[in-house]
Chains A and B, each alone.
Chain A
């Protein structure tokens, strides 16, 4: 006998959990199948060395949408919130950014930063409303789509003529041009550049890095927090909400294929050969894995397959976890500063220089680093008196020319530790264990093709109406009953729950209309 559900969600990433919970709340019977042994996908807390745990991929919470919190009654316990960003300077004259305030720069720069933030916040707020609804379809005559497009035009116009022009000027531009135009402080320029490119295969001089900056701000105005117990606790809370709503969540159940019969899904088959039936399959997996691996090319048409195949989805961010026998020493930082977000972004050229080798399939010799010491405020993550460092390090291209192996990982590790040691000379002595996850590792351990944060690059040609590709931007794939609900769908990655929520709403709306 096979179990029958209304919907099967492939993958218990945070979006899959949000989507399943909302569908269950609407009365659907939902089964979630997760390949790994814990829920959360890339939003999990894992022990990487005995006694030491860290958020395996995503480590900062800054995008979880209020709508998602409200609808699922979530209240994640935070170890720390509204973190200050400290941009390290080699001379110890670090920069401190909190909200729209920046310390360590001239009054002029501080004022410019305040204005910059004000404008960006306004634009980000506009963007946010669109991140939280399914994008309208282009080229149809459906009233809903036309109305949504008109609304977009109206919202833009409502910014005022000058601001609208500024929005349209900036949205496709690169962050480098904007920061060099605006600021004197090299550190500040570097820090903003980093925020714009984190998690992408883009440098500050790549087009549309203002858009990616806005995307980051859109969630929560860029305010970052660290959940108590790591990111895994957020996922566990989501899984709890889903289960409470009646969702069956099963882990260690890798889906081998999505079963398609005559152009419509009928269920899924697991690696173990178990078949589960449903009339809807919602994939939290990335678009490439979903379409090319789980469904298979023979069930889709050529033009669509070509677009999915050419989706840019190669990640460039690595994750580094260090077990430390004590906090390192960084000149100019007090002890409590280790509870903040510490970045190495150098000057206005540093981030782009770090990106340069990645264009040619090489890793950065002087990488960009975003560090946190989550154990500083959360004793559950490390033995007493010891610490954990969790860092995003760029750039580590997925398609490394030499390939990722023990030797190349060690070489990259050396580059990263060397870079951190420029500021924290005793870091190496403090390390008792470490874990480096390259995009290749992220691919194999979290089943994300290309190991990209966003499943698909966050660029204008893969954004909004055309995310991930034309023909799949409203969550429905061109196979009846098959949907996407992960980061590869609109709006994109980050622990926001927006894609999962939008997908659920879109699915329910379609059902109602049918």
Chain B
């Protein structure tokens, strides 16, 4: 850890000057100490940049830790539920990590940068937990959020934009792959990762080259509809993709006070990330017991009738809303690209199998007056948005 004076007030990312020059509405919020834009000119338009062109989102505030040392792999394998031995250098893994009770602390991505050298990224900060997990392991954990400037470049034209920047090897870069290229004498890391469920990349560079990278990117993207976006648009896209957000769709277990309000990976539809063939990982005993005895909750993706967004709605097993509710909606959005009213929710595990019908109690306001509607919803298995180009290599021009 570096010991520098504590920053006072809101931090600005290395891209702030560029974002500020595009900003017309002055809507910002705090993200782990940094200013992050809600929207820069119009969240709806920004959303369409994600789905129809190329959207650029500043992910510098995302928490980043460098994990190195002889035990780095063993350390990560004990930390997260999936088998990290399968993640070769140059690959990225979506992963989830739990406390001893098998409750999710956070999810994130782990980049196997080079042999034995990893970067873990997440929305929340986890230094204390990562250090506790390091007891007894020969690893070094370095908090490098401030040392790496990062941009998400997402959307159907993102490959074309980056191709124009002559990034060597881009056409061979597969989903969840990463590569290192030279950018004006600095090392630029390009990963085919993102939070939109579409074709997209993330660019990682030394902060002193941040503005140069931005400028080069926007120059290359000029004819491809490149747009900077804020969090509101991104959040719409991530719900369409069925991605979870901490504090929305689950509470980090180390932030909860009451029992029963956190979630296990099995309860979040992440069982595919839990590898019980690993001899040990945090939460293994508890998760094995949960697997034997059954989970309490189940995450559902809902396709809801009508066009009224079902924010925070109770979910019932029948249209009359008789009996206790079976759960509630955690994220909801009207999906413009799918033309569907979609939501993520949490229901008692007896309910909500794919194909099931449940009922969502939607409240909406019309000219001050509140209306209530019981909307029929179908539980779906697949993400709402999953275009073939997301998995294609090379993705092809657009």
Can you sample 20 A-B contacts with CB below 8 Å?
Answer: A260-B279, A261-B279, A263-B284, A263-B285, A292-B135, A292-B136, A296-B136, A297-B137, A301-B78, A301-B281, A301-B284, A302-B100, A302-B133, A302-B135, A303-B100, A306-B135, A309-B132, A309-B136, A471-B100, A478-B285
A276–B220 CA distance with the chains assembled, in angstroms: 67
* Chain A residue at minimal CB-CB distance from B280: A299
CB-based contact B129/A302 at 8 Å: yes
B278-291: CB near A (< 8 Å → 1, else 0) gives 01111111000000
Which of A260, A299, A301, A303 has most chain B Cβ within 10 Å? Answer: A301
CB-based contact A303/B279 at 8 Å: no
- Within the complex, the shortest CB–CB distance from B70 to chain A, in Å, comes to 13
CB-based contact B136/A297 at 8 Å: yes
From A260, A262, A301, B283 is in contact (CB under 8 Å) with: A301
- Within the complex, the shortest CB–CB distance from A265 to chain B, in Å, comes to 13
List the A side residues contacting B99 at CB < 8 Å. Answer: 302-303
In the complex with contacts A263-B284, A478-B285, A301-B137 CB distance below 8 A: no
A262–B276 CA distance with the chains assembled, in angstroms: 10
Closest 5 CB pairs of A and B: A297-B136, A303-B100, A306-B132, A301-B100, A302-B133
List the B side residues contacting A262 at CB < 8 Å. Answer: 279
- Within the complex, the shortest CB–CB distance from A102 to chain B, in Å, comes to 48
Q: In this assembly, does A300 line the interface, its C-beta being within 8 Å of a C-beta of chain B?
A: yes
Q: In this assembly, does A510 line the interface, its C-beta being within 8 Å of a C-beta of chain B?
A: no
List the A side residues contacting B100 at CB < 8 Å. Answer: 301-304, 471, 478
- Within the complex, the shortest CB–CB distance from B274 to chain A, in Å, comes to 14
A152–B282 CA distance with the chains assembled, in angstroms: 34
* Chain A residue at minimal CB-CB distance from B78: A298
A478–B280 CA distance with the chains assembled, in angstroms: 11
A45-79: CB near B (< 8 Å → 1, else 0) gives 00000000000000000000000000000000000
A262–B282 CA distance with the chains assembled, in angstroms: 13
List the B side residues contacting A261 at CB < 8 Å. Answer: 279
CB-based contact B135/A297 at 8 Å: yes
In the complex with contacts A298-B74, A298-B137, A263-B132 CB distance below 8 A: no
Q: How would you classify the secondary structure of chain B's contact residues: helix, strand, loop or mixed?
A: loop
Q: In this assembly, does A305 line the interface, its C-beta being within 8 Å of a C-beta of chain B?
A: yes
- Within the complex, the shortest CB–CB distance from B96 to chain A, in Å, comes to 14
From A263, A292, A306, A471, B280 is in contact (CB under 8 Å) with: A263
From B132, B280, B284, A303 is in contact (CB under 8 Å) with: B132
> In residues 291-318 of chain A, which contact B (Cβ within 8 Å)?
292, 296-306, 309
> In residues 143-193 of chain B, which contact A (Cβ within 8 Å)?
none
Q: In this assembly, does B375 line the interface, its C-beta being within 8 Å of a C-beta of chain A?
A: no
- Within the complex, the shortest CB–CB distance from B193 to chain A, in Å, comes to 26
Q: In this assembly, does B79 line the interface, its C-beta being within 8 Å of a C-beta of chain A?
A: yes
Other CB < 8 Å A-B pairs besides A297-B136, A303-B132, A303-B282, 11 of them?
Answer: A261-B279, A263-B284, A297-B137, A301-B281, A301-B283, A301-B285, A302-B133, A305-B132, A309-B132, A309-B135, A309-B136
Q: How would you classify the secondary structure of chain A's contact residues: helix, strand, loop or mixed?
A: helix
A252-287: CB near B (< 8 Å → 1, else 0) gives 000000001111000000000000000000000000
Which positions in A face B, CB cutoff 8 Å?
A: 260-263, 292, 296-306, 309, 471, 478
B121-138: CB near A (< 8 Å → 1, else 0) gives 000000001001101110
* Chain A residue at minimal CB-CB distance from B288: A263
- Within the complex, the shortest CB–CB distance from B291 to chain A, in Å, comes to 14
The interface size bin for chain B is 10 to 19
CB-based contact A298/B280 at 8 Å: yes
List the A side residues contacting B132 at CB < 8 Å. Answer: 302-303, 305-306, 309
- Within the complex, the shortest CB–CB distance from B281 to chain A, in Å, comes to 8
A248–B281 CA distance with the chains assembled, in angstroms: 35
B99-142: CB near A (< 8 Å → 1, else 0) gives 11000000000000000000000000000010011011100000
List the A side residues contacting B279 at CB < 8 Å. Answer: 260-263, 299
List the B side residues contacting A309 at CB < 8 Å. Answer: 132, 135-136
Which of B79, B100, B129, B133 has most chain A Cβ within 10 Å? Answer: B100
* Chain A residue at minimal CB-CB distance from B132: A306
A30–B148 CA distance with the chains assembled, in angstroms: 57
> In residues 293-340 of chain B, which contact A (Cβ within 8 Å)?
none
- Within the complex, the shortest CB–CB distance from B201 to chain A, in Å, comes to 33
List the B side residues contacting A305 at CB < 8 Å. Answer: 132-133, 135-136
A360–B27 CA distance with the chains assembled, in angstroms: 52
List the A side residues contacting B136 at CB < 8 Å. Answer: 292, 296-298, 305, 309
A478–B286 CA distance with the chains assembled, in angstroms: 11
* Chain A residue at minimal CB-CB distance from B277: A262
List the A side residues contacting B283 at CB < 8 Å. Answer: 301
List the A side residues contacting B280 at CB < 8 Å. Answer: 263, 298-301
A300–B78 CA distance with the chains assembled, in angstroms: 9
List the A side residues contacting B135 at CB < 8 Å. Answer: 292, 297, 302, 305-306, 309
A471–B285 CA distance with the chains assembled, in angstroms: 13
- Within the complex, the shortest CB–CB distance from A383 to chain B, in Å, comes to 49
A185–B352 CA distance with the chains assembled, in angstroms: 75
* Chain B residue at minimal CB-CB distance from A471: B100
CB-based contact B74/A301 at 8 Å: no
- Within the complex, the shortest CB–CB distance from B266 to chain A, in Å, comes to 17
- Within the complex, the shortest CB–CB distance from B357 to chain A, in Å, comes to 36
List the B side residues contacting A303 at CB < 8 Å. Answer: 99-100, 132, 282
A262–B283 CA distance with the chains assembled, in angstroms: 14
A78–B184 CA distance with the chains assembled, in angstroms: 85
* Chain A residue at minimal CB-CB distance from B99: A303
List the A side residues contacting B74 at CB < 8 Å. Answer: 298
List the B side residues contacting A302 at CB < 8 Å. Answer: 78-79, 99-100, 129, 132-133, 135, 282
A331–B132 CA distance with the chains assembled, in angstroms: 56
List the A side residues contacting B282 at CB < 8 Å. Answer: 301-303
- Within the complex, the shortest CB–CB distance from B310 to chain A, in Å, comes to 36
A481–B181 CA distance with the chains assembled, in angstroms: 52
A447–B281 CA distance with the chains assembled, in angstroms: 29
A299–B61 CA distance with the chains assembled, in angstroms: 34
* Chain B residue at minimal CB-CB distance from A303: B100
Which of A292, A298, A300, A478 has most chain B Cβ within 10 Å? Answer: A298
- Within the complex, the shortest CB–CB distance from A477 to chain B, in Å, comes to 11
A299–B79 CA distance with the chains assembled, in angstroms: 12
A302–B139 CA distance with the chains assembled, in angstroms: 14
- Within the complex, the shortest CB–CB distance from B97 to chain A, in Å, comes to 9
List the B side residues contacting A478 at CB < 8 Å. Answer: 100, 285
- Within the complex, the shortest CB–CB distance from A70 to chain B, in Å, comes to 38
* Chain B residue at minimal CB-CB distance from A299: B280
List the B side residues contacting A297 at CB < 8 Å. Answer: 78, 135-137
A292–B74 CA distance with the chains assembled, in angstroms: 15
List the A side residues contacting B285 at CB < 8 Å. Answer: 263, 301, 478
A301–B283 CA distance with the chains assembled, in angstroms: 7
